[in-house]
Chain A
Amino acid sequence: MKISEISGRATAVLVFAVMAVMLVLTVCGKKEDFSVAEDRELADFPEISISALMDGSYGRQLAGYMTDHFYGREKLISARTRIEYAMCEKIVNGIYISDDMLLDAEISSRRIAPENADSVNDFLSSYSGTVYFAAVPTSSGVYGDMLPDYLLTNPEKKQIDFLYNGLNDSIRKIDTYNILRMLNDNYIYYRNDSKLTSYGAYYVYRTIIQKLGFQPLSYDKYTIKHVTSDFRGNLYSRCLYNSTKSDILDIYSYSGGAEITSCTVRTNNGITYRNTLNDESFLSGDMYRMYLGNEVPFMRIKTSVNNNKKLLLIKDSYADCFVQFLIQHYSEIAVISPESMTKPLSSFINPDNYEQTLFLFGIDSMDNGNLFDLLNG
């Protein structure tokens, strides 16, 4: 028998064995509903229907199910990142891998939706108090110098300026970009997530709270608790590259200061009550949720501060570690998350009961033009 004949047979047996073994392991393997590492729900086995077959969605769902539950998926994704990293650019799945941190490499393709500025202007027109807007850059905005030049055709500073230019002159725009740029030698952004660390949030708080009319508390008054040093965030979830150092989650507390007296959480289904802002039970899963718990449309925080000052905070996840700094200044803070809202704002609160409204968003949320649709309902 010729070598080529033997080689052909061996190839057939080996390749078929690899295919069959992976198929059996995938079919028989344990099926999880949620991937903690990727921080997302995994696909369910699709239900067959004529309409799903007709438009091809069944095939796509089946392929998605196979992909999500493929044997050793997380290890394969991690290996993919390393192979691509070694093979060509340091960009894998839209994540730029530098020596120290991961960065979103797709910031320039983001388009800020002008509808968001229009919605905030509409909100202002029917509101009696003062509106403040703070757009926070992502880590790629502050550490953009690390990215190759061709990825910086639309830098975040330009995106923030575009958003601010669309806002009414009566809205007080707060510049967080320059302060964060000045501090970029410090641990102000997570290495594995696009958001601010608590330390970064503290400096954003210092800037914002002065605009809101208060004196910020000095850094040394806080007691800092390192809750975990194993946090890996949204950038890690997209590439599962674990050679960068994991991150630390901190809780800042002021022992001699005001305390939370009640915390009412309204979900779309009902109301729950809590005594604290933070929920450390999340440390075994989606760690960042530790700050305010699950994303909910509305949360009312009452504190022991006796100044009768009330703040309406309309925010996204960038503000989660920021709220802890506000409780020393307001007797009541209403926290609204437009991303989770399914009912209009008026079904939760009357904004006019709050003399100040602060919009605090990561600039990466501003590409969704429907974000504030329920604000003016």
Chain B
Amino acid sequence: MTYSSLLFIYGFLPLSLLVYRIAPASLKHLSLFVLSCVFCTLNSLRFMYFMLVYTVVNYFAGLFIGKFRKRKSLSAIPLSLGVSFDLLIFFMFRTDCLDVLREKSGIPEEFFPLGISFATLTAVGYLIDIFRKRMKPEFNFIKFALYMMFFPKLFIIVRYKTFYRMLGNKKVTLADIGDGFRIFVRGLAKKVIAGDTMYMLYMAVRSIDIWKMSAVNGWIGMTAYLLCVYFVLSGIADMGMGIGYCFGFRLPQSFNYPVFRTKIRDFALNWHVQIIYWFRRYFSKPLYEAGKNRLYKNIVFITAWCLAGLWYRFDPNGFMWGFLIGLTVVLEKYLRRFRFLKVTGIIYTYVITIICMVFLSGEDITQSVNYLLVMLGGNSIFADSVTLYLLKYYIIMLLICMYFSTSLFRNLLMRPQKNCLKNIISAISPVITVILLVICTILISYTGSSETFILKL
């Protein structure tokens, strides 16, 4: 069961809101834990067991690190055991290199724990924070289990300290639920309307034989892929965030309009904020402390991006994606003094983002390089009848998606002189939300869900 399924939207979500509403204050957390277990079980009982075991192991690792925190060398043992366990699980499900272990432990090949990549970062961050004495371990198992298993948070990473503050907020107003629904439906629309449409366009381009593809088709396909990844990932994160709001958890936003910026740095800072922040907090920052040399810092920065790339795709393509972003951000720092970059900002940022995406989307490095050559006119075809066909049918959706992937609409509402417009939008937002919900329901009515997961995270 995914957030964007009929069973979730018209079954699990309203019923779980009712259960939470009628649960007495003392049982609110327990009710959320039970609901999260039900959510996991509806995916599979194996997933629920897995998440429980994963949570228990990290819970005790956290307790032992806390217990020995006065003796750093001793507390390093549960830390290394806990982190090794988390990484082992990550590699077991995200790569093929531990298939033997997987077979030996009797885990079927088709089993993939939803959001395992997020759970790994969450758990490792939690253990490191206790080890570095930034916080105490959580003794209450239900609270910790909610941190790991709370169903709206499966695709969102927050620090435990922040989450702990949210746990204290048991009072949810009707307006909070309204905000939650609005964010949830926004995420649903991002995923179902924008993400799935861009996926169709991307697949249309991908079905063309690469040696017959025109250059423009290559650019259209990669633009669609960029928008698809953005809308699918941010849509899922927004849905989780919205559901969190309905239960009084003000979970953070994951994407802050990263595409079509004027600097690569802005793309890097606003793309999957929590993931990039995690690598900065737990990887770059401790290493920055070790040396002040600029070259050293740049290497650490690029390495952090390479790791983030590997988090998205554990193969050379993921590495290249991260490496190129890291490298271009560093280069941009030096080139920024040239004024021409300010004028052509959007164009060069777009071009570099697209080149990076060629690696994220490609089957392997060779295919990605071939695709890049095609985009540069390697087939000596600039445009063809397919280009006209795709532009004819997709141009409007492409432009709409491009517009809503930028902050233009939000900025329009933010301007003080546009207060009237803001009030009008605010007043009609309930109707817009319902209309979007109905449209999304219609779009998923045939299969019952939208399951375009372009990256298995």
Q: A residues engaging B (CB < 8 A)?
A: 3-16, 18-20, 22-23, 26, 50, 53-56, 58-59, 62-64, 66-67, 70, 73, 76-77, 79-80, 83-84, 87-91, 93, 108, 148-151, 153
Contacts and interface: CB of A to CB of B under 8 A. Distances in A.
B207 A7 contact: no
B427 A3 contact: yes
B397 interface: yes
A4 B426 contact: yes
6 contacts: A8-B174, A67-B7, A83-B442, A88-B201, A91-B200, A150-B208
B442 A11 contact: no
A63 B174 contact: no
Contact of B14 (A4, A7, A23, A70): A23
A66 B430 contact: no
B448 A70 contact: yes
Given A62-B7, A153-B207, A12 B443 contact: no
B123 interface: no
Interface of B: 1, 5-7, 9-11, 13-15, 17, 41-47, 108, 174-182, 185, 193, 197, 200-201, 204-205, 207-209, 384-386, 389, 393-394, 397, 423, 426-427, 429-431, 433-434, 437-439, 441-443, 445-449
Given A16-B177, A88-B201, A149-B385, A79 B10 contact: no
Nearest to A1: B175
B175 to A, nearest CB: 3
B439 A83 contact: yes
B177 A63 contact: no
Nearest to B385: A149
B224 to A, nearest CB: 11
A154 to B, nearest CB: 10
A56 B442 contact: no
Contacts of B201: 88
A300 B447 CA distance: 40
A18 to B, nearest CB: 6
Given A7-B429, A8-B174, A89-B393, A15 B434 contact: yes
B417 to A, nearest CB: 17
Contact of B443 (A11, A54, A62, A83): A83
Nearest to A51: B45
Contact of B437 (A18, A70, A88): A18
B433 A15 contact: yes
Contacts of A50: 45
Contact of A10 (B6, B7, B47, B430): B430
Nearest to A50: B45
B45 A53 contact: yes
Contacts of B429: 7, 11
Q: Which 9 A-B pairs have the closest CB atoms?
A: A67-B448, A56-B44, A8-B178, A8-B175, A11-B178, A76-B445, A12-B178, A10-B430, A59-B42
Find the residue from A18, A26, A50 having the highest chain B CB count within 10 A.
A18
Given A66-B6, A149-B389, A12 B174 contact: yes
A56 B209 CA distance: 37
A9 B174 contact: yes
Contacts of B13: 19
A8 B176 contact: yes
A159 B266 CA distance: 50
Contacts, number: 163
Given A8-B176, A23-B11, A67 B6 contact: yes
Contacts of B209: 153
B443 A7 contact: no
Contacts of B200: 88-89, 91
Contacts of B430: 7, 10-11, 14-15
A153 B389 CA distance: 16
A55 B44 CA distance: 6
Nearest to A90: B393
Interface centre among A22, A26, A54, A88 (most CB of B within 10 A): A88
B427 A7 contact: yes
State the majority secondary structure of interface residues on B: helix
Given A15-B434, A59-B42, A153-B209, 13 more contacts: A3-B423, A3-B426, A6-B427, A8-B177, A14-B430, A26-B10, A55-B108, A66-B10, A67-B447, A76-B442, A76-B445, A80-B446, A153-B207
Contacts of B438: 18
A79 B442 contact: yes
A323 B5 CA distance: 45
Nearest to A82: B442
A283 B6 CA distance: 33
A89 B196 CA distance: 12
Contact of B6 (A15, A70, A153): A70
Contacts of B197: 87-88
B433 A11 contact: yes
A56 B14 CA distance: 22
Contact of B41 (A11, A15, A59, A150): A59
Given A23-B10, A62-B42, A80-B446, A14 B174 contact: no
Nearest to B5: A63
Contacts of A83: 439, 442-443
A18 B430 CA distance: 12
A53 B7 contact: no
A80 B442 CA distance: 5
Nearest to B196: A84
Contacts of A89: 200, 204, 393-394
A202 B439 CA distance: 45
A320 B394 CA distance: 40
Contacts of B177: 8, 12, 16
B1 A10 contact: no
Nearest to A91: B200
A63 B449 contact: yes
A11 B437 CA distance: 11
B7 A63 contact: yes
Contacts of A77: 445-446
Given A15-B437, A66-B6, A153-B209, A59 B14 contact: no
Nearest to B439: A83
Contacts of A87: 193, 197, 397
Nearest to B2: A63
Contact of A88 (B6, B178, B394): B394
A266 B204 CA distance: 46
Contacts of B11: 23, 66
Contacts of B446: 77, 80, 93
Contacts of A76: 441-442, 445
Nearest to B177: A12
Contact of A84 (B46, B433, B443): B443
Contact of A150 (B44, B207, B442, B447): B207
B448 A66 contact: yes
A254 B201 CA distance: 51
Contacts of A79: 442, 445
Contacts of A56: 43-47
Contacts of B1: 59, 63
Most B Cβ at <10 Å: residue of A9, A11, A14: A11
Contacts of A14: 430-431, 433-434
B445 A73 contact: yes
Nearest to B13: A19
Contacts of B208: 150, 153
B389 A148 contact: yes
Given A11-B181, A76-B442, A19 B9 contact: yes
B448 A80 contact: no
A88 B179 CA distance: 30
A7 to B, nearest CB: 5
